[in-house]
Amino acid sequence: MKCVVCKYGECTEGKTTVTIEKEGTLLILRGVPAKVCQNCGEAYVSGEVTEEILRAAAEARQQHIEIDVRHFDAA
């Protein structure tokens, strides 16, 4: 898959860090599986993984967490 940002790099399986803010809860997820551009570093996260991220953010919000850093596998 070619990168749509730089239109040059090739995207390969890798890991990225995703930051999501939801109603005052800031969640930082590390080790998120994504396709990462070898040229510019842009990360593409699948819909399935995005759902997981949103679920983790909603959970953190319910726990009234203001800011949290988690590993994706443990989220």
Give me the residues that bind Zn ion (CB under 5 A), please: 3, 5-6, 9, 37, 39-40, 42
CB of 15 or CB of 71, closer to Zn ion = 15
User: Helix or strand or coil: residue 74?
Assistant: helix
CB of 8 or CB of 55, closer to Zn ion = 8
Tell me how far CA of residue 2 lies from CA of 8, 29, 47, 64, 65, in angstroms: 7, 25, 18, 40, 37
CB of 42 or CB of 68, closer to Zn ion = 42
> Shortest gap between Cβ of 46 and Zn ion (angstroms)?
17
